[in-house]
A and B are shown apart, each in its own frame.
Chain A
Amino acid sequence: MSRLPDVITTWFSSRGWTIHPHQQDMLARADDPATLLIAPTGGGKTMAGFLPTLAELAAGSHDGLHTLYVSPLKALAADIKRNLRTPVDEMGLPIRIDDRTGDTPSSRRRSQRADPPNILLTTPESLALLTSYEDAPRMFAGLKRVVIDEIHALAENKRGDQLMLALSRLQALCPDLRRVGLSATVDDPAAIAHYLARHPDPCDIVLADPGPAPDIRMLQTDAAPPWAGGGAAHAIPAVLEQIKAHQTTLIFHNTRAQAEIFFRNLWLANDDGLPIGIHHGSLDRTQRERVEAAMVRNELRAVVCTGSLDLGIDWGNVDLVIQIGAPKNVKRLVQRIGRANHRYNAPSKALLVPANRFEVVECQAALQAVEAGTLDGTPRTHGPRDVLCQHILIRACAGPFCAESLFAEITSVGAYSALSREEFDDCLAFCATGGYALRAYDQWQRLLQRPDGQWQLRDPRAARRIRMNIGTIQDADLLKVRLKRSRGGKPLGEIEESFAATLSAGDTFLIGGQIVRYEGLREMTVEVSRNASKTPKVAVFSGTKFATSTQLSDRILTILKQDSWPDLPPHTAQWLELQRSVSQMPRRGELLLESFPFKGREYLCVYGFAGRNAMQTLGLLLTKRMEELGLDPLGFVATDYATLIWGLEEITDAEPLFDAQALRDGLDGWLAGNAVMKRSFRAVATIAGLIERNTPGQRKSGRQATFSSDILYDTLRKYDPDHLLMQITRQEALSGLVDFGRIEEMLARTRGRTRLLRLDQISPLAAPLLLEVGKVPVKGAAQEKLLERETEEMMRRAGLTDLPG
């Protein structure tokens, strides 16, 4: 199919447009089972994906669903619907287009199932839900093509795994289904192709012209960045100048909390009253939509945002991208830069703004990497089994199934192609009985095997519960924030429950760019009032924290090794020189440790440069060891380059703490009881269907909230430590949150050599860590001591020396 129907070519020429070479390539491959297109934003990527569909549907002879479009964003599905509608109408093509997401009203969803459109635009979760219905074979009958947009983003996470499992189901229903993936620039296109295609089908990769190299540099500011912190307040005047000099600027931040602080500071300095908005994942949906709509109407000069705008709608007027804070990962930086100037063949323009002096070094390393064109990828291994468990349950909702055919479908998914039958059977057993070593309550098992060998739900009503819990997105426990009013005030957004627990009446925090005052908690809603009189506590948003990639960490160590730093701004060079004179510079071949007293506590700073997750794990392992040695650790905080531990005792001998074997043993012993593991377990258990976030007809009375997943974890650990979910949790944690591989790398790099320096005060490099958010308390002997002191103090302050009664 390389020839387009006349009606389409006529439409192109009437606009004075020509078809791009990569669009032509995609047309030529329209009959291939799978094709991956890699193109910069603004390169007509979406049209390239849809042209073959329009060509096939132009004759008007196709009945029912023809093409399924899946994107990671609901907003994108709605936007593509609009953008596709216009040309289709202008070409006069007889094509019905509709979108279906969690926001679609149920009446429209029902009619879509009864009478599907020709093109359906949806998300991975909505698609998974569709495959769970018994009438799925009828709805998807005749489906020819599936187009997966932003596939590079989906391929990185469990949403993508769920999507590909759903596709394996569709492929079984529609054997000649053809797949197309649309991707931004990636480090390893072949890996994405493997992920996209039905295994072992081939998948051609079409590379569009990447366009000219980006224009990227560090923003020059009059004021030096601070010694510490992530606010980048020093850069506000320079950033405002840039906003004035451009049409529309996107200002990216790594965390939601930083975006909030920056937005507030920007607004305070915005004397010209430039229209500037804020956009991040914790803001209320209507607020986010308002900002998006204003962007579409070109009413905003700048948007302060986070990863929530990494993907999505093309805004042609964005002519500058500013990255506040070090970019952590070169691939994401390059993709963010691509958000600027969506005009084909114009260079994207971007500025990096280091928020503190260490980030000046990181930004320098990132600039070197972009110039060298080296992207850093995080390779994913096998498809996660918790997602597989959910898929089995979804399959059971659609009707009885045969285990052999389901296994064959699942192993046709690239990410699951190496799954063994034994692993599959374990997942099936988990779904059926729970898969516990103790075989209890077999009469109530969730899935039953029928006499004919097929599996089905014991209780068909369970389908409703399973459908209510479809999805793999894990939100931290979030509480809604509302303005306090007599009748339900305006929703502002969400904060983490753990942060809300630290607030008491009168405390202030930032959300949506305004300072609010905590008034109280009412029925799982945080009530606040407007109050601008105090310095805010800053909301601790979970927003993904990325670890600085191995490549960037290594480039940073190379920069630190220099005798002097003529390429760095003088303020940063001087700071590094100060570190060298007060203490030492961390080196690649040796692990530098600093010990010093500060405000009545003893500190130990470990310069491991292993990325945030691994440094976090190192903090857990070291504090565990210190607890055993009676060194009373109280807590620690980790950044990408160092871990800072505080406690009651000075560390005088570090060697025993860093013995490689002891660390590995500690990992096994420690792995069990710790908060990171429990967090991983909660995610795994929720996805696998053990913990239900939503249950039918059960409004929380508040009297007995469901018990925490921590209790389930502790119970399994005690009575069934080899349970499937424990295995998955361990595997996930080791590669993700625990990232022990990078600790091994660090130990190999330093060959176990440590150098402990005793300082009489905090060092220049250690200072920034004190201001880091995400401090982890150690729940050991020292915490029990302090808890005791605190309750005694509360008794004393309340004047309760005598007992009541």
Chain B
Amino acid sequence: MSGYSFSLAGADLVALGAGALWWPAQQLLCVSDLHLGKSERHLRRGGAALPPYETRDTLDRLGVLIGNLVPQTVICLGDSFDDDAAVQALAESERSALEALMAQRHWIWITGNHDPAPVGLGGEARNTLSLGPLIFRHIAEPGFSPQPHSAGEVTGHYHPKVRLRGASRPAFLLDHQRLILPAFGTYTGGLCTTHAALRGLMAKQALAILTGPRALPCPMPR
């Protein structure tokens, strides 16, 4: 698994090129913004019928990571489903694929702004989760400013991406107190790190870690 290793609030973490976060000491895998069921929701709301393959594709890619890393815990950092109805609309084959991934491991659904709490699936639903020196939630708290040696914040929501040399890549954003994950879902757009929302959240010294065949760190373009 190619990745970029760093430490946040004393926790040693790896940002994987595939767009997920790996915490070796906890055998914990974290992904954000899966947006399962996006095409179904789009059509239901009167839009065009997008190719209905994104759920399968997202779960396939997640399955590869889980197969390789065999995590004890998986955290889905919110916006896992495009909305509540999308959970119910999950096709049988996709539901069983998801259940197979969830089997025999601790699975945590952090609630997001799109999906208050997935109903009828296993796993544990929470607003936030504190684990060791880290706190996991969906949206970064602007005022969040930890005391020295206290929690580092791990969030998703913004779908950060970086444009460099004509390439546009989803990216992790990292500073001394927080980490923002890229979106893992197949049908997800991105927000450039030059956007005010991200510039405001991240410290001056922040890094962007580009996803791709290799995870590539660089100073966050502002």
Give per-residue flags for A261-302: 1 if the beta carbon is below 8 A from chain B beta carbons, else 0. Answer: 000000000000000000000000000000000000000000
Judged by a CB distance under 8 angstroms, whether B70 is at the interface is no
Q: How many Å from the CB of B176 to the closest CB on chain A?
A: 5
List A contacts of B152 (CB < 8 A). 805
Complex CA distance for A624 and B46, rounded to whole angstroms: 40
List B contacts of A703 (CB < 8 A). 158-159, 191, 195, 197
Q: Which one of A438, A461, A777, A800 lies within 8 Å of B166 (CB-CB)?
A: A777
Interchain CB contact under 8 A, B43 and A705: no
Complex CA distance for A206 and B57, rounded to whole angstroms: 59
Interchain CB contact under 8 A, A784 and B53: no
Complex CA distance for A483 and B174, rounded to whole angstroms: 34
Judged by a CB distance under 8 angstroms, whether A12 is at the interface is no
Interchain CB contact under 8 A, A692 and B48: yes
> Closest residue to B219 on the A side, CB-wise?
A798
Q: Which one of B6, B191, B210 lies within 8 Å of A702 (CB-CB)?
A: B191
Interchain CB contact under 8 A, B53 and A715: yes
Which of A485-541 touch B at CB < 8 Å?
498, 501-502, 521
Q: Given A703-B197, A791-B210, A795-B217, answer yes or no on A434-B53 (Cβ-Cβ < 8 Å).
A: no
Interchain CB contact under 8 A, B195 and A434: no
Q: Given A440-B40, A779-B167, answer yes or no on A705-B8 (Cβ-Cβ < 8 Å).
A: no
Interchain CB contact under 8 A, A787 and B167: yes
List B contacts of A803 (CB < 8 A). 6-7, 207
List A contacts of B166 (CB < 8 A). 498, 501-502, 777
Interchain CB contact under 8 A, A691 and B8: no
List B contacts of A790 (CB < 8 A). 164-165, 218
> Closest residue to B9 on the A side, CB-wise?
A805
List B contacts of A705 (CB < 8 A). 189-191
Complex CA distance for A678 and B191, rounded to whole angstroms: 21
Interchain CB contact under 8 A, B186 and A465: no
Judged by a CB distance under 8 angstroms, whether B52 is at the interface is yes
Q: Given A501-B163, A790-B164, answer yes or no on A800-B219 (Cβ-Cβ < 8 Å).
A: yes
Chain A interface secondary structure, helix, strand, loop or mixed?
loop
Judged by a CB distance under 8 angstroms, whether B175 is at the interface is yes
Give per-residue flags for A684-719: 1 if the beta carbon is below 8 A from chain B beta carbons, else 0. Answer: 000001111001000000111111100110011011
> Closest residue to B198 on the A side, CB-wise?
A703
> Closest residue to B89 on the A side, CB-wise?
A441
Q: Which one of B8, B51, B163, B207 lies within 8 Å of A719 (CB-CB)?
A: B51
Q: Given A501-B166, A705-B189, A786-B165, answer yes or no on A690-B6 (Cβ-Cβ < 8 Å).
A: no
Interchain CB contact under 8 A, B175 and A805: yes
Judged by a CB distance under 8 angstroms, whether B205 is at the interface is yes
List B contacts of A788 (CB < 8 A). 214, 216
Judged by a CB distance under 8 angstroms, whether A598 is at the interface is no
Q: Given A441-B89, A711-B187, answer yes or no on A787-B164 (Cβ-Cβ < 8 Å).
A: yes
Complex CA distance for A459 and B50, rounded to whole angstroms: 17
Complex CA distance for A433 and B39, rounded to whole angstroms: 12
Q: Which one of B43, B50, B89, B176 lies within 8 Å of A712 (CB-CB)?
A: B50
List B contacts of A692 (CB < 8 A). 47-48
List A contacts of B53 (CB < 8 A). 436, 438, 715-716, 718-720
Judged by a CB distance under 8 angstroms, whether A542 is at the interface is no
Q: Which one of B57, B191, B219 lies within 8 Å of A715 (CB-CB)?
A: B57
Give per-residue flags for B151-191: 1 if the beta carbon is below 8 A from chain A beta carbons, else 0. Answer: 01000001100011111000000111100000000111111
Complex CA distance for A803 and B218, rounded to whole angstroms: 11
Give per-residue flags for B69-85: 1 if the beta carbon is below 8 A from chain A beta carbons, else 0. Answer: 00000000000000000
Complex CA distance for A800 and B174, rounded to whole angstroms: 13
Most B CB contacts (10 A, CB to CB) among A498, A689, A705, A805 go to A805
Q: Which one of B44, B186, B203 lies within 8 Å of A441 (CB-CB)?
A: B44
> Closest residue to B191 on the A side, CB-wise?
A703
List B contacts of A783 (CB < 8 A). 165, 167
Interchain CB contact under 8 A, A784 and B213: yes
Q: Which one of A704, A708, A718, A791 lies within 8 Å of B57 (CB-CB)?
A: A718
List A contacts of B126 (CB < 8 A). none
Judged by a CB distance under 8 angstroms, whether A375 is at the interface is no
Q: Which one of A444, A704, A794 lies within 8 Å of B218 (CB-CB)?
A: A794
Q: Which one of B46, B48, B194, B218 lies within 8 Å of A795 (CB-CB)?
A: B218
Q: How many Å from the CB of B17 to the closest CB on chain A?
A: 11
Interchain CB contact under 8 A, B164 and A791: yes
Complex CA distance for A787 and B216, rounded to whole angstroms: 9
Interchain CB contact under 8 A, A434 and B48: yes
Interchain CB contact under 8 A, A440 and B216: no
Complex CA distance for A777 and B52, rounded to whole angstroms: 31
Q: How many Å from the CB of A572 to the closest CB on chain B?
A: 36
Complex CA distance for A446 and B48, rounded to whole angstroms: 7
The count of chain A contact residues (Cβ–Cβ below 8 Å) is 53
Complex CA distance for A712 and B174, rounded to whole angstroms: 29
Complex CA distance for A440 and B212, rounded to whole angstroms: 30
Q: Which one of B7, B158, B187 lies within 8 Å of A707 (CB-CB)?
A: B187
Judged by a CB distance under 8 angstroms, whether B49 is at the interface is yes
Number of A-B contacts (CB under 8 A): 149
List A contacts of B6 (CB < 8 A). 803-805
Interchain CB contact under 8 A, B43 and A521: no
Q: Which one of A708, A716, A800, A805 lies within 8 Å of B51 (CB-CB)?
A: A716
> Closest residue to A457 on the B side, CB-wise?
B46
List A contacts of B115 (CB < 8 A). none
Which of A756-801 touch B at CB < 8 Å?
777, 779, 783-784, 786-788, 790-791, 794-795, 798, 800
Q: Given A720-B51, A791-B217, A805-B152, answer yes or no on A521-B194 (Cβ-Cβ < 8 Å).
A: yes
Complex CA distance for A783 and B213, rounded to whole angstroms: 12
Q: Which one of B8, B191, B207 lies within 8 Å of A704 (CB-CB)?
A: B191
List A contacts of B167 (CB < 8 A). 779, 783, 787
Most A CB contacts (10 A, CB to CB) among B43, B48, B89, B210 go to B48
Interchain CB contact under 8 A, A465 and B47: yes
List B contacts of A777 (CB < 8 A). 165-166
Q: How many Å from the CB of B74 to the closest CB on chain A?
A: 23
Q: Given A704-B191, A783-B165, A786-B165, answer yes or no on A433-B49 (Cβ-Cβ < 8 Å).
A: yes
Judged by a CB distance under 8 angstroms, whether A723 is at the interface is yes
Judged by a CB distance under 8 angstroms, whether A462 is at the interface is yes
Interchain CB contact under 8 A, B194 and A706: no
Judged by a CB distance under 8 angstroms, whether A445 is at the interface is yes
Complex CA distance for A414 and B175, rounded to whole angstroms: 63
> Closest residue to A788 on the B side, CB-wise?
B216
List B contacts of A715 (CB < 8 A). 51, 53-54, 57, 186-187
Most B CB contacts (10 A, CB to CB) among A459, A702, A803 go to A803
Judged by a CB distance under 8 angstroms, whether B56 is at the interface is yes
Interchain CB contact under 8 A, A805 and B7: yes
Q: How many Å from the CB of A530 to the closest CB on chain B?
A: 23
Interchain CB contact under 8 A, A800 and B207: yes
List B contacts of A711 (CB < 8 A). 186-187
Complex CA distance for A381 and B159, rounded to whole angstroms: 43
Give per-residue flags for A451-469: 1 if the beta carbon is below 8 A from chain B beta carbons, else 0. Answer: 0000000010110010000
Q: Given A786-B165, A805-B6, answer yes or no on A723-B51 (Cβ-Cβ < 8 Å).
A: yes
> Closest residue to B159 on the A side, CB-wise?
A704
Q: Given A440-B91, A720-B53, A791-B217, answer yes or no on A459-B189 (Cβ-Cβ < 8 Å).
A: no
> Closest residue to A498 on the B side, CB-wise?
B166
Interchain CB contact under 8 A, A708 and B48: no
Complex CA distance for A771 and B7, rounded to whole angstroms: 46
Interchain CB contact under 8 A, B48 and A707: no
Given contacts A791-B216, A794-B219, 20 further A-B contacts (CB under 8 A): A436-B52, A440-B40, A440-B52, A441-B39, A444-B40, A446-B43, A689-B48, A703-B197, A704-B159, A712-B50, A715-B51, A715-B57, A716-B53, A718-B57, A719-B57, A720-B53, A784-B212, A787-B212, A795-B217, A804-B175
- Complex A-B: 17 CB contacts under 8 Å: A433-B49, A434-B49, A436-B49, A440-B39, A462-B46, A498-B166, A702-B191, A702-B197, A704-B190, A715-B54, A719-B51, A720-B51, A777-B165, A787-B165, A794-B219, A795-B219, A798-B219
Closest 9 CB pairs of A and B: A434-B49, A440-B52, A791-B218, A707-B189, A719-B53, A798-B219, A444-B43, A705-B189, A791-B216
